[in-house]
Amino acid sequence: MRKPNERKPLVKHIYTADPSAHVFNGKIYIYPSHDLERDVPDDDNGDQYMMEDYHILSMDDLDSECVDNGCALHQDDVPWVKNQMWAPDAVCVNGKYYLVFPAKDKDGVFHIGVASSDSPVGPFKPQDNYIEGSYSIDPAVLQDDDGRLYCYYGGLWGGQLEMWQSGSFDPDAHRPEGDEEAIGPMFAEFAPSMDKFITEPKHLQILDENGAPLKAGDEDRRYFEGPWMHKFNGKYYLSYSTGTTHYICYAEGTSPEGPFTYKGRIMEPVLGWTTHHSIVQIDGEWYLFYHDCELSGGVTHERCVKYTKLDIAQDGTIKTIQPYE
């Protein structure tokens, strides 16, 4: 039996997307991007996604009202940011809360920034510059059992991930296609101070059932954007969006830096072009937070955050969700 709020928009007064959900001090906090109503055409670069700030949502439990805690960080407060504050994540380290977010710099290049607060809902004070060596979008932070902090990030097309294949930004870089090896998400370890990477960023490999890297043309399985990492029974599970085919998929590994073996789909397509999620354990059960475009009737850049229960077997297998059944 579903909970009263399950698979329903958690808030309706603003558009929200890309939810990163966490439990801090027994309470549920959701870190989404904040979609704005803009009468602009869609394009492959994502220019229609003109988010300017972050609103942190919170719930006492899954049956309670979801509260919007107001603006926690605005692009005008971040010295290096020009625009497009996209999907964020958050982590608590030694009692301090860190908002990890992507945005475009003054030259229109995506990087990852960090802001801190004594409260999980902010307001957050940004660091003066982005994390050196970071690029692209969709950061997700795993705080491992030993306390180490791992950042997963990267998105194709408008997320600019392919544009860094040479080691520097090239907007005309070749996009891998067909039987060329697909580009995986990025991986780096944060310093405990959350102000720098202490390992060189590298691409993660996602392998097929035969141990071969997924191909760029395998759009049903290859990585596109929106990485998330959770642990289950000692193994690491990388989940992500396939973008063009609109699936949320997952892959399994024994190390936080991979390689990962493709295992299957978590969710079939939702209403809208993008799909972006997080996976969190609440009161001993697992849940998927995600978005669709129900509130706007399908406008791709006017989305709403939802959640649903996740069925994970003891061997880590995740049952595929049909979002509208």
The model's pLDDT over 224-234, given as tens digits with 9 standing for 90+, comes to 999 999 999 99
Three-state secondary-structure class, residue 276: coil
Residues 253-311: tens digit of each pLDDT: 999 999 999 999 999 999 999 999 999 999 999 999 999 999 999 999 999 999 999 99
In the prediction, which pLDDT does 48 show? 85
End-to-end CA distance of the chain: 13
Residue 46's pLDDT is: 82
CATH of the domain at 104: 2.115.10.20
Report pLDDT digits (tens) over 99-123. Answer: 999 999 999 999 999 999 999 999 9
47 catalytically annotated: no
Where residue 44 falls among pLDDT bands split at 50, 70, 90?
confident
Q: CA torsion, points 276, 18, 16, 196, in degrees to nearest 10? A: -170
Mean pLDDT, rounded, of the chain:
97
The region, left, alpha or beta by phi > 0 then psi within -120 to 50, assigned to residue 167 is left
What pLDDT shows up at residue 283? Answer: 96
- Whether residue 6 lies inside any domain: the answer is no
Confidence (pTM): 0.97
User: Is 291 inside any structural domain?
Assistant: yes
Catalytic one of 225, 252, 292, 302: 225
| pLDDT value for 1 | 78
Of residues 227, 259, 85, 248, the one with CA closest to residue 156: 227
> How would residue 37 be classed by pLDDT, with cut points 50, 70 and 90?
confident
Q: Is residue 104 part of a domain?
A: yes
Yes or no: say if 242 and 220 are a contact pair by the CB < 8 Å rule.
Answer: yes
Collapsed DSSP state (helix, strand, coil) of residue 291: strand
> Of the listed 18, 138, 162, 189, which one is catalytic?
18
Residues 6+ away with beta carbon under 8 Å from 124: 54, 72, 73, 97, 99, 115, 116, 117
Q: Beta strand 53-59 with 27-35: parallel, antiparallel or unpaired?
A: antiparallel
Q: Is 194 exposed, middle or buried (0-12, 13-18, 19+ CB in 10 A)?
A: buried
> Does the pLDDT at position 125 exceed 90?
yes
Asked if residue 3 belongs to a domain, the reply is no
Instruction: Write down the pLDDT at residue 310.
Output: 98
- Using DSSP's 3-state secondary structure scheme, residue 244 falls into helix
Report in angstroms the alpha-carbon separations of 106 from 52, 114, 162, 236, 324.
14, 17, 20, 36, 41
Structural domain count of the chain: 1
Residue 12: both structure tokens together: 């309706």
Per-residue confidence (pLDDT) for residue 84, from 0 to 100: 96
User: What's the mean pLDDT in 88-95?
Assistant: 97
Say if 224 falls within a structural domain: yes
* Residue 38: predicted pLDDT: 79
Quick check: 298 and 277 in contact, CB under 8 A? no
Cα 72 to the chain's mean position, in Å?
18
315 within domain boundaries: no
SS3 content of the chain, % helix, strand, coil (to 5): 5, 40, 55
Residue 13: pLDDT band by 50, 70, 90 thresholds? very high
**Average of per-residue pLDDT across 93-97:** 97
In a domain, 318, yes or no: no
Strand partners, 150: 142, 189
- The helix (run of H) or strand (run of E) holding residue 22 is strand 15-24
DSSP state of 75: G
Asked if residue 2 is part of any domain, the answer here is: no
Share of the chain above pLDDT 90, in %: 94
Q: Give me 198's structure tokens.
A: 């202490």
pLDDT at 318 over 80: yes
Structural domain for 54, as ranges? 15-310
Is there a catalytic annotation at residue 209? no
Percent of residues, the chain, with pLDDT higher than 70: 100
Q: Is the pLDDT of residue 247 over 80?
A: yes
> How would residue 187 be classed by pLDDT, with cut points 50, 70 and 90?
very high
Per-residue pLDDT tens for 65-82?
999 999 999 999 999 999
Four-residue CA torsion sign, 59, 324, 43, 111: positive
pLDDT tens by residue, 128-153: 999 999 999 999 999 999 999 999 99
Quickly list DSSP for 156-209: SGGG-GGGGTTSS--TTPPPP-TTSBPP--EEEEEPTTSSSBSS--EEPPEE-T
Please say if the pLDDT value at position 43 is more than 90: no
